[in-house]
Structure 1
Amino acid sequence: LLALRRAARAWTPLTPLLSATVPDAVELADDEVADLLGQGARALSAAGVEVHWPREMARKLTARAVIGPPEGDGPDALASGAPSFLSADALLAFDWSFAVGDQELSRQELDRLAEANRPVVRLRDQWVLVDPEQARRARARQDRKVTPVDALSAVLTGSTEVDGRRFEVRPTGWLEGLRDRLADPEGMEPVGQPAALAAELRDYQLRGLNWLARMTSLGLGACLADDMGLGKTITLIALHLHRQTDQEAAGPTLVVCPTSLMGNWQREIERFAPGTPVRRFHGGRRSLDDLADGEFVLTTYGTMRLDAAQLASLNWGMVVADEAQHVKNPHSATAKELRTIGARARVALTGTPVENNLSELWAILDWTTPGLLGRLGTFRTRYAQAIEEGKDPAAAERLSKLVRPFLLRRRKSDPGIAPELPPKTETDRAVSLTKEQTGLYEAVVRETLAEISGADGFERRGLIVKLLTALKQICNHPAQYLKEGKPRIADRSGKLELLDELLDTILAEGASVLVFTQYVQMARLLERHLASRGVASQFLHGGTPVAQREAMVQRFQDGEVPVFLLSLKAAGTGLNLTRAEHVVHYDRWWNPAVEAQATDRAYRIGQTRPVQVHRLIAEGTIEDRIADMLGRKRELADAVLGAGESALTELSDADLADLVELRGGAR
């Protein structure tokens, strides 16, 4: 009786039990049964009274979203039925599926539940206990249409949010097949290395090619976010060649990249895809006339921003955003104009998909596959804030499921990646001269060659050495050649722009780098420039005392200073700097053996990680010519390398003019 009194106080429909001779049963009205399903049960539970329902009485009405084409359009229809996800031309059905217990209801049965307006209804030879209000809300849910990319987003995460509540999602038709295919990246038949590629792709590069080929063939964008040095460029070139074998995918490829990387792109294409037409859409005489189907067009983010309308008017097979972190601010003019350029496929390349916050990831993936992550404001609320502030642990898992198929991220430290790398990878990185550098270079060549033509003997040799030194300094930075006291450093040198690009990526990876230059003055300029950017560096040169030298090495090895500037002569031997994963040769030495010794400061016993060597070369200049001799003309190279600059002083006037003449390569 005490228990009954407590229960009746909590839920008044039990009051008749208190006056019954044998309080074993009570008849309830429909509205009382409905109340007991919700508020009544909670009130009794708070009073310490449990409510048990008959096991055979199914009483939970569940809902889940069903998204996709009509049920008859099965998973095998993927190839023919799937639309391009870069457009919103097609709309897919967003239906609802309801079940009581483990039995799915037909629409007629749901109507019966709602119209009965009773909590207990006879359905399929059993009593069903359902909140009438819940049944009415379920029937009121309107089926609607959603874009393919919205549908894909929902089925990849496995749930969708409606009216503040999260519901399970089930895909149908080809959408189900697409989900399964994206969930199993290894399940697709490999495309193999293109016959036209003049290189042997490493295993992980082949996997990257297969992934890119699959994503782009499905009309989906992709972001290849491998670490620097893993070969994103050659993988993309292989993708371009592969797509040319498919009539529907073939077409010109537009590569948008920082100015400092244009020369490198052109060289890599000419090296790995010989015969493939490539042009630069850059500078005053840029043109897109007579564009070939399988052509590469290289442009800069700045030029793209200016000429977006012209670029958008063409039918691109693929658009590539290299160093895609340049468009991490979706509100920038650069990002907005890039979005106006249509293509059958979009690919982003970056070593740092997230530098500061998750909104940067949104900006990149919303360009490659627009709409995938929803609107930026919604994304920030649903994912970015929830994850960054630790509010919703499940949000990180949902975002991972959503992003994983569209972003391929491999690090040099990943299992199966580092063994594929050679212990040392050396890359010549071509850069263009700025207008200021071009003017200085041409003036010095013109004036000094005139002097040399009227001189002989010792005087002539001295003038040639002076010319070579001046040209190398101009290639480095105008302020070095002009010996300016307090110069403006930024935006005057192509090499410095490229160095900034390299350092941004290297430091974002948490790696360390050695930067060698043969000129103390140039190192001082770099030191000042890095300080203005807030990048920690230190400079070791011939005048550095031994004790200080040892302390600097220790600081670098301990990871306290990520950028170590070094004078080539002073630091080319005798140092153990195995903390460095990258070595940058800012200017070229005439003898590669000296460069190799400097590189060996990092690449030596004790080094456990692959070393990336970057040689900066001013395109179209004497540096380019020397690099060409080092790489291809071994006989002449041996003569030059054996004696250094002195061999060049013996060249005829005509040969010397040919060596130092500026050929293209300038902006």
Structure 2
Amino acid sequence: RGGGGGAAPPPPPSAPPPRDDLFGPRARIDAVLALRRAARVWQPLGRLLERDVPDVLALTEDELYELLGPAATRLADAGVAVHWPRELARSLSASAVVRPALSAPGSATDGTTFFDSEELLRFNWRLALDGDPLTEREMDTLAESHRPIVRLRDQWVVVDPDLVRKARKRELGLLEPVDALAVALSGTAEVDGETVRAVPVGALAALRDRLVAGPEDITAPAGLDATLRDYQLRGLAWLDLMTSLGLGGCLADDMGLGKTVTLIALHLRRARRAPTLVVCPASLLGNWQREIRRFAPGVPVRRFHGADRSLDGLDAGPDAGGFVLTTYGTLRTSAPRLAGQEWGMVVADEAQHVKNPFSATAKALRTIPTPARVALTGTPVENNLSELWALLDWTTPGLLGPLKTFRSRHARAVENNEEIENEEAVERLARLVRPFLLRRRKSDPGIVPELPPKTESDHPVALTREQASLYEAVVRETMAQIEGAEGIARRGLVMKLLTSLKQICNHPAQYLKEQTAKGGGTARLAGRSGKLALLDELLDTILAEDGAVLVFTQYVTMARLLADHLAARAIPAQLLHGGTPVAERERMVDRFQSGDVPVFLLSLKAAGTGLNLTRAGHVVHFDRWWNPAVEEQATDRAYRIGQTQPVQVHRLIAEGTVEDRIAEMLRAKRALADAVLGSGEAALTELTDRELADLVSLRRPS
């Protein structure tokens, strides 16, 4: 104690106890056992057991990388947790970035097309910390690092050696604009055999965003004499967006949804002085010409087909800015002439005709230069994804890369049996393809309510050379006989003439009473009839959509020829006519309604009433009955109570013939049409020689 009576000072704080006093004996034993267990799964920890106090372990760089990766997982499985300092960041990531090399190429945002630019795009690695991209200086720091932990932005960052290599070699090369767009849309790229995440920036990102977002609403163009349904307006807006960007696209709507009128509207909206070239099967030339004259009256249209075909006058004068129609066959033989003409747009109708990229037709089509390419088809993928590649590689060349690369990266992956890998591959391909392919089905929500329950279409088809020769010969010979006949004899000759001409319009083999191999003869059917060629086109599309169809003809002989033709093509079909027993008739209906047989050939008189065939979504009238009411009764075999799908009615009409003229009168409701409605073709026997000659003479399409 000290003097003065003052208070004693507080005792000094006690010193910390020795380290061994922090744990009891049991805790030390448990810690050693845990350490031994951990050392068995990760050997470097064994060095701790050699220390008097196992508190600190110096690690080599390789050991640190191992602890950051697989060792931590093995330790966790052994019940040993690895705790890292909070300030140690591990969220360094890498992605491939596509950006303009100098200035941004044009995009939809500045009024120019992306592909007008010949500038290549840079393809580089970009590293990011917590999602925030590193600067060039920070990338340099990382590239110069030789340790697994680097100081970045005032924090320690764990660095994978692979990321260091990417920082050291950032340049991945240069990309063509179309390749860059493919990378931007899919969000991935192939780098050294590895699929990596890819990020577009600048104008490329803006273009990607616009394509993904889709088009804005538009109105029908001036000059279109039609009211477009909502889904057709959406299709027009989409085509307008794609062609304005110089990208092209494939409109893959189901049959009957109005691809033709949508394309005509696109032509009017683009309003170019350069003409639009439409390439289609020969059987569709007449339909295109009539649809253009119907929906865009005043727009010039000509056929580049036949011996006297010409492209003169397309660049100036009244024919400028119109339509030119040609066939795939003519394209093959006249590709250099067509390639020498300036086109505002090229359209490939029924584009499945060029699904084989190595065919002469596909190669010829690729030689025609144009700023806008549109493929129209109801069946974009019939057999495999290579067909999809062929279509889109024409509409937007280079988008999907070389065919071999596309098959290895996308097609095989999509067809893989591994479910997770398959889903990822499908989604990756969908991101790439979706902006360039517009596919709508009749069953899609928002489309069926807009469709009328029944849509009727006249399909004009050109006669073949054989048909035209037979037709003109029969008219010349029979008219000479009619001019010298009277009364019943004259009426009989007129009826004979009309029947002969209708049979020639159907097929020369019917008029010439030829038989096919199945019927005991050797007649060849393919290539001799415009109607048969169009029927093949229709059936290919309908069956590819898993549809069913009724085919009516008033002639049993023609029905048998069709049955033999379809059998030769291995298309399942059945034939019902007046001689079919009732029991077999019922079995046929059951087979058709159950979906076993998709094509039902029917004699108009025998099957025009009394049948319920609602499985059919399509009805084809191969030849015309003079009384439309009879055709309507036949159509009602499909269009009746119980029908749940829209019905498409197709009437095949031989162009420039008596069939064509009768169809015109029926549409125009002329006085003669009323007579035909009342008494059928018998009314035509009362025409004068001049009127009859005008009715039956063959008129060449203009």
- Residues 491-529 of structure 1, C-alpha deviations (whole Å, 9 max, x = no match): 110000000000011111111111000000000000000
Distance 2:643 2:40 in 1: 77
1:166-216, CA deviations, whole angstroms, 9 ceiling, x for partnerless residues? Answer: 222222122111111112225x2x231012001111111111111111111
Matched, 1:370 2:401: no
| 1:546 paired residue number | 582
The more displaced of 383-392 and 421-430 is 383-392
Q: Are the equivalent residues in 2 in contact too, given 1:70–1:173 (CA < 8 A)? A: no
2:338 to 304, 307, 311: 311
Aligned in 2, Cα 1:40/1:265: closer, same or farther, shift over 3 Å?
same
Q: CA deviation at 1:549?
A: 1.3
Alignment partners' CA distance in 2, 1:103 and 1:321: 47
Over the aligned positions, Cα root-mean-square deviation in angstroms equals: 2.1
Say if 2:275 and 2:323, in contact at 8 Å, map to a contact too. Answer: yes
Change (3 A) 1:31 1:560: closer
Distance 1:168-1:270 versus aligned 2 partners, 3 A rule: same
Equivalent in the alignment of 2:297: 274
Output the amino acid matched with 2:432.
L
Give the CA deviation at 1:603: 1.1
Give the Cα separation in 2 of the matches to 1:250 and 1:166. 45
* SS of residue in 2 equivalent to 1:155: helix
Provide closer, same or farther for how the CA distance between residues 46 and 375 of structure 1 changes in structure 2, counting only shifts above 3 A: farther
Conserved? CA contact 1:222–1:368, under 8 Å = yes
Q: State the 1:74 CA deviation.
A: 10
Q: Of residues 254, 259, 262 in structure 1, which corresponds to 2:282?
A: 259
What's the CA shift string for 1:376-406, capped at 9, x where partnerless? 1111111111112334220001111111111
Alpha-carbon distance, 1:40 to partner: 5.3
If the length of structure 2 is used for normalisation, what is the TM-score?
0.90
2:549 to 510, 513, 516: 513
Distance 1:578 1:70, change over 3 A: same
Residues 155 and 170, structure 1, Cα contact 8 Å, conserved in 2? yes
The yes-or-no answer on 1:25 pairing with 2:56 is: yes
Q: Which has the higher contact order (CA 8 A, sep 6+)?
A: 1
CA contact (8 A) 2:592 2:613 kept: yes
Structure 2 Cα separation of the partners of residues 540 and 167 of structure 1: 60
Q: Which runs of no fewer than 5 residues in structure 1 stay unpaired?
A: none
Say which is worse superposed, 328-337 or 101-110, in terms of deviation: 101-110
d(CA) in 1 for partners of 2:105, 2:289 = 45
In structure 1, what is the Cα distance between the partners aligned to 2:264 and 2:346? 12
**Most deviating of 505-514 and 91-100:** 91-100
Match of 1:361 in 2: 388
1:293 deviates by: 3.3
**Cross-structure match for 2:355:** 328
User: Which residue is equivalent to 2:371?
Assistant: 344
CA 1:598/1:29 → structure 2, altered by over 3 Å: closer, same or farther? closer
Alpha-carbon distance in structure 2 between the residues aligned to 1:143 and 1:538: 61
Q: CA deviation at 1:100?
A: 3.0
8 Å Cα contact 1:60-1:130 kept in structure 2: no
1:102 Cα deviation from its structure 2 partner: 3.6
Per the alignment, do residues 402 and 13 of structure 1 end up closer, same or farther by CA in structure 2, a change over 3 Å counting?
Answer: same
For residue 213 of structure 1, what is the amino acid of its counterpart? Answer: D
Q: Is the 8 A contact 2:553 2:621 kept in 1?
A: yes
So what's the TM-score if we normalise by structure 1? 0.95
Q: What residue number does 2:457 align with? A: 427
Deviation for aligned residue 1:300: 0.5
Partners in 2 of 1:665 and 1:388 — Cα distance? 48
2:73, 2:630 → 1: CA distance?
82
Partners of 2:108 and 2:114 within 8 A in 1: no
CA distance in 1, matches of 2:553, 2:647: 18
Q: Counterpart in 1 of 2:14?
A: none
Which position in structure 1 is the counterpart of 2:650?
614
Q: 1:169 & 1:557 partners in 2: Cα distance?
A: 51
Aligned equivalent of 1:177: 206
Paired letter, 2:306: G
Aligned twin of 2:17: none
Question: Is the 1:70–1:172 contact (alpha carbons within 8 Å) kept by the matching residues of 2?
Answer: no
2:652 & 2:150 partners in 1: Cα distance? 79
Alignment pair present for 1:288 and 2:311 = yes
Q: Summarize deviations over 1:455-509 as a string: whole Å, max 9, x none.
A: 2222111111111111100010000000013211111100000000000111111
1:451 equivalent in structure 2: 481
C-alpha change, 1:411 and 1:493, in structure 2 (3 Å) is same
- Identify the residue that residue 651 of structure 1 maps to in structure 2: 687
Task: Tell me which amino acid in the other structure corresponds to 2:321.
Answer: G
1:468 aligned residue:
498
Larger radius of gyration: 2
Amino acid at match of 1:126: Q
SS in 1 for 2:89: coil
Number of residue-to-residue matches in the alignment: 658
Task: Return closer, same or farther for 1:20/1:514 CA change in 2, 3 Å cut-off.
Answer: same
**Contact persistence 2:107–2:245 (CA under 8 A):** no
Q: Which stretch shifts more, 228-237 or 54-63?
A: 54-63
**Which amino acid in the other structure matches residue 291 of structure 2?**
E
Q: 1:145 matched to which residue of 2?
A: 174
Q: Which moved more, 1:283-292 or 1:169-178?
A: 169-178
Deviates more, 1:266-275 or 1:633-642: 633-642
Q: CA deviation at 1:132?
A: 4.1
The 2-side partners of 1:340 and 1:177 are apart by 31
Indicate if the aligned counterparts of 2:93 and 2:131 stay in contact, CA closer than 8 A. Answer: no
CA deviation map 1:414-453 (0-9, x unaligned): 1110111111111000001111111111111111111112
Aligned residue in 1 for 2:593: 557
Task: Choose the corresponding residue for 2:119, options 77, 81, 90.
Answer: 90
Deviation at 1:31? 4.6
Which of the residues 536, 558, 561 maps onto 2:572?
Answer: 536
Deviation sequence 1:80-132 (CA, Å, 0-9, x none) = 45422xx7833222222102334421122122222121112222211122134
Partner of 1:398: 428
Given that residues 179 and 399 in structure 2 are in contact (C-alpha distance below 8 angstroms), is that contact kept between their aligned partners in structure 1?
yes
- Whole-Å Cα distance in 2 between the matches of residues 29 and 588 of structure 1? 90
- Answering whether residue 149 of structure 2 is matched by residue 120 of structure 1, we say yes
Could you tell me how far apart the structure 1 residues matched to 2:185 and 2:108 are?
19
SS state at 2:250 partner: strand
- Percent of counterpart pairs with the same letter? 68
The Cα shift of 1:41 comes to: 4.8
| 2:105–2:114 Cα contact (<8 Å) kept | no
Distance in 2 (alpha carbons) for counterparts of 1:168 and 1:82: 26
1 CA distance for matches of 2:442 and 2:366?
A: 31
Structure 2 portions without partners, runs of 5+: 1-31, 516-520
